[in-house]
Amino acid sequence: MSIFENSERTNLNEIGEFGLINHLTQSVVLTQPSSIKGIGDDAAVLDFTNKKTLISTDLLLENVHFDLRYVPLKHLGYKAIQVNLSDIYAMNGIASQVTISIGLSSKFPLEAVEEIYEGALLACQNYNVDLIGGDTSTSTQGLVISVTSIGYAETDAIAYRSSAKEGDLICVSGDLGGAYVGLQLLEREKQIYLENPNIQPDLEGKDYIIERQLKPEARKDIVELLAAMDVKPHAMIDVSDGLASEILHICKASNVGCKLYEEKIPIDPMTYETAREFGLDPTVCALSGGEDYELLFTVAQSDYDKLKNNMEISIIGHITEAAEGCTMVSKSGNVHEIKAQGWNAFS
């Protein structure tokens, strides 16, 4: 289970920082018309003439955001990019470039870094973005990954958190809670493994929720779908900390309230069943679990007909005036105030 069991090992000390950068970036090709100059100078040069530029950045730290005991390095590289691209899509923009900085102990062999990079490059390829820069360094402790995404949008297309309007429909892509339940499963298997390394992990039939945790996919397709349907989302955010936390961000920024319907929240059957196995309420997993990287957005009621039959989009409630507060109507018909219990990076 350890990455250090790898039989091929090239010591990072031997090749040095510049050697490592050259080695890792030799296969990087620029494909975006907006990428004028990528890796290899003091800064990258981009051309966003007539478009607005979008920038987002994330920091991923070992034992805080990921556990190398069950996260394969290639998946980690892939996820690091996805998580950050998700923020560009959440502006209703198109991601076009990323930078990735990696800090890692010199106990890591070159092959381990290559795997992280391979995953990152695969994500870039799948999402049609260029890797244009970054930084590599030794780290005296854990693995550190910092990603910055760059994208663009027409001024009128940008969907801020603050643009939700009273009467808007609240929509979410895909399904929720899966990444969190997948994490519970991985944590359980880790404990079993730590207690008895001879027992193999039992993840049989749980592929979907494991993948939701280890290999999330940012919803570029939703941005493209909305454009194709000529639907302009009013407010939009990505679901990284759980539905509750995100809808509260939109309501606060837009100075509105909301009413969600529990029965409308999309939860995959495997998420539902596995949550139950763990004694967890599936709705709570969707509201507070986080890491789903779906898009939560509001649209005008007049867009209802365009969206109502789309399998990828669920209409889960509507925006109210601020005085009505942020509430959810439970399956039994009770009205609850929505509270953020999302992941707190300092707890």
Which residues ranging from 5 to 44 are in contact with its own copies (CB under 8 A)? 12-13, 15-17, 20, 36-37, 40-44
Structure tokens at 112: 């381990």
Applying the rule CB under 8 A, the residues between 62 and 81 that interact with its own copies are 62-65
Chosen residue from 1, 9, 107, 135 binding its own copies by CB under 8 A: 135
- Distance, CA of 178 to CA of 183 (rounded, Å): 9
| Other Cβ atoms closer than 10 A to 22 | 13
Applying the rule CB under 8 A, the residues between 252 and 281 that interact with its own copies are 253
User: Do 71 and 179 touch, CB atoms closer than 8 A?
Assistant: no
Of 143, 138, 142, which Cα lies nearest the Cα of 16? Answer: 138
DSSP class of 66: B
Which strands, in side-by-side order, build the sheet including 313-321?
A: 236-238, 295-299, 169-173, 313-321, 256-261, 326-329, 335-337
Binding mask 156-195 for its own copies (x = CB under 8 A): --x-xxx---------------------------------
**Complex with its own copies: residue 209 or 299, whichever CB lies closer:** 299
**Residue 306 is a binding residue for its own copies (CB under 8 A):** no
Applying the rule CB under 8 A, the residues between 199 and 258 that interact with its own copies are 236-238, 253
Chosen residue from 50, 198, 200, 332 binding its own copies by CB under 8 A: 50
Of 258, 261, 262, which Cα lies nearest the Cα of 318? Answer: 258
Of 231, 208, 205, which Cα lies nearest the Cα of 303? Answer: 231
DSSP class of 168: P
Applying the rule CB under 8 A, the residues between 281 and 300 that interact with its own copies are none
DSSP class of 128: T
**Residue 325 is a binding residue for its own copies (CB under 8 A):** no
**Complex with its own copies: residue 143 or 260, whichever CB lies closer:** 143
Sign of CA dihedral 86, 72, 276, 241: negative
- Distance, CA of 31 to CA of 29 (rounded, Å): 6
Chosen residue from 32, 82, 146, 173 binding its own copies by CB under 8 A: 146
Chosen residue from 133, 174, 216, 266 binding its own copies by CB under 8 A: 133
Binding mask 91-120 for its own copies (x = CB under 8 A): x-x---x-x-xxx--x--------------
Binding site, by residue number, is: 42, 56-58, 65, 87, 117, 134-135, 161, 238, 240-241, 291, 343
Binding site for substrate, by residue number, is: 65, 291, 343
